[in-house]
C-alpha cells in the first residue's frame, strides 16, 4: 500500500560539505539538490509529502494549537464578533455550515444517517475556522479577539507561527525550483511569492454523533468501512501554491491518488504535511499535482450499540458512532497579488507538461474560488 513520502530537511540545516562552501546563492548545493529531487518526485506522484527535520520547534506548534483551542472554546456569540469579513479580505471566523466544496448530497453521504444532509442539497463541511492574514496590509486587517475575550498571547503566538511558516514556504519553493531543473533561476517562485499573500487558518471539527445500522458497525474499527464513510471536510484541492498543515492526534485526513484510491495521512509527531495547490499545478504545467483530499471520521471511534423503535414500530439495533473533536492548522501559501500564473517552460519535463492553461491573475483566481466555497461575510448578505 502506498504511503506518504517523508522528506528530511535536517541535512539542509547542517554545515555544507567543504566543496560546496563556494556555491553561488543562485545555484544548488549537493544537499539541496538531493532533497529537492526527493521532494519534487513526491509532489509529482502524490501532490504531498511529510516534512521532518525542519527548524520549526514543536513549542511553536503546541502554542498555536493551544491558541486555536482557546478561540474555539469561546461561546458562539463571542466568536461571531470576529466573523469572516469578505472574500477580498479573507480573514475572520467562519462558522460551521457555511463552507462547501460539493453540491451532491447523495454522492457524499452514501446514505449515512446524520451525515451532512441539507435541505438545499448543498454539502457544508463540519468545521469552523478562523483565518488570519498578513499584518500591516493597507486595506485589510485580521479581526483579532479583544483582550476581554482572549489574552494578547493569542495574537502574538499565531503571528510568530505565521512568520515561521512563511519562511518555510519560501525555502520549499526554492527547493521545488531546483528539483524541477530551474537552475537558471532557482528563485523563480520565491520572487513571485514573497509578499506574504498567505493565510493562516485554524480549523476545528466539532464532535458529533451519527447512527449506522448495527450490522455495518459492530466494532470501533468497522465503522470506517467505505460504505459508511462520514465526511467532515469534502473532497477538494487547495487554491494556492503550497499548503503547510499540522494536525492533532485524532486523524481522518486522507489524500486521493492518481488512480482514485485514498491514502490515510496518519498523524506523525513533529511533522508538517506539504501539499501542492492549484496555482503551483498550473504554474508547472501539471508536472506537480494538486492532490484532492478530504477529512473523514478517524480510524478509531467510539461506538455504542442500542435498540430503538423504527418508524414502522419495529425494534432494530443501531450503533451510535461518536466522532471526536479534531483540530488542525493550515498555512495557505499564494502567489503575490499582481502575479499572472501561466505554465513556465520546464525543458526536462517538456513531454509531460500541459502548456494550454490560459494565464490567470493570482488574486482573481483566489477570490473566485473563495466566493465559490465560503458562504458568509459581507458579499453573502
pLDDT in tens, 97-110: 899 887 533 333 33
pLDDT at 95: 96
**Using N-to-C axis directions, what is the helix angle for 58-72 and 152-179, rounded to 10°?**
130
| Segments of the chain with pLDDT less than 70 | 1, 15-28, 103-122, 214-228, 377-381
- 19-72 pLDDT tens trace: 444 445 555 688 999 999 999 999 999 999 999 999 999 999 999 999 999 999
pLDDT for position 153: 96
The residues, any chain, with a CB within 8 Å of residue 324's CB and separated by 6 or more, are 207, 250, 298, 301, 302
- Sign of the Cα torsion 138, 139, 145, 147 reads positive
Is the pTM for the entire model greater than 0.85? yes
The pLDDT score that the predictor gives to residue 218 is: 44
Amino acid at each position: 500500500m502506498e504511503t506518504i513520502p517523508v522528506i528530511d530537511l535536517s541535512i539542509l540545516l547542517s554545515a555544507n560539505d567543504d566543496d560546496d562552501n563556494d556555491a553561488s546563492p543562485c545555484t544548488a548545493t549537493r544537499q539541496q539538490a538531493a532533497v529537492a529531487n526527493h521532494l519534487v518526485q513526491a509532489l509529482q506522484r502524490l501532490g504531498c509529502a511529510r516534512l521532518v527535520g525542519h527548524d520549526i520547534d514543536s513549542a511553536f506548534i503546541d502554542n498555536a494549537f493551544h491558541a486555536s483551542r482557546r478561540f474555539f472554546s469561546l461561546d458562539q456569540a463571542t466568536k461571531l464578533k470576529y466573523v469572516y469579513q469578505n472574500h477580498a479580505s479573507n480573514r475572520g471566523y467562519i462558522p460551521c455550515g457555511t463552507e462547501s466544496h460539493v453540491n451532491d448530497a447523495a454522492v457524499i453521504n452514501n446514505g449515512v444517517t446524520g451525515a451532512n444532509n441539507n435541505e438545499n442539497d448543498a454539502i457544508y463541511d463540519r468545521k469552523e475556522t478562523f483565518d488570519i492574514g498578513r499584518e500591516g496590509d493597507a486595506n485589510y486587517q485580521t479581526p483579532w479577539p479583544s483582550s476581554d475575550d482572549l489574552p494578547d498571547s493569542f495574537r502574538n503566538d499565531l503571528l510568530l507561527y505565521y512568520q515561521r511558516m512563511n519562511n518555510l514556504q519560501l525555502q520549499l519553493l526554492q527547493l521545488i525550483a531546483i528539483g524541477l531543473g530551474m537552475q537558471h533561476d532557482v528563485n523563480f517562485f520565491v520572487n513571485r511569492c514573497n509578499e506574504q499573500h498567505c493565510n493562516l487558518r485554524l480549523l476545528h471539527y466539532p464532535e458529533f454523533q451519527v447512527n449506522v445500522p448495527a450490522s455495518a458497525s459492530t466494532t470501533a474499527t468497522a465503522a470506517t468501512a467505505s460504505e459508511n464513510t462520514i465526511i467532515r471536510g469534502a473532497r477538494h484541492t487547495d487554491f494556492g501554491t503550497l499548503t503547510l498543515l499540522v494536525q492533532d492526534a485524532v486523524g481522518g485526513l486522507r489524500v486521493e491518488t492518481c488512480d482514485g484510491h485514498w491514502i490515510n495521512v496518519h498523524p506523525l509527531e513533529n511533522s508538517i504535511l506539504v501539499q501542492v495547490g492549484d496555482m503551483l499545478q498550473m504554474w508547472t504545467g501539471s508536472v506537480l499535482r494538486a492532490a484532492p483530499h478530504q477529512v473523514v471520521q478517524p480510524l478509531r471511534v467510539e461506538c455504542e450499540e442500542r435498540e430503538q423503535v423504527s418508524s414502522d414500530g419495529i425494534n432494530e439495533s443501531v450503533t451510535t458512532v461518536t466522532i471526536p473533536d479534531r483540530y488542525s492548522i493550515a498555512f495557505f501559501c499564494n502567489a503575490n497579488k499582481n502575479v499572472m500564473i501561466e505554465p513556465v517552460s520546464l525543458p526536462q519535463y517538456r513531454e509531460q507538461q500541459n502548456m494550454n492553461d490560459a494565464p490567470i491573475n493570482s488574486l482573481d483566481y483566489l477570490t473566485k474560488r473563495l466566493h465559490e466555497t465560503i458562504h458568509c461575510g459581507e458579499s453573502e448578505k
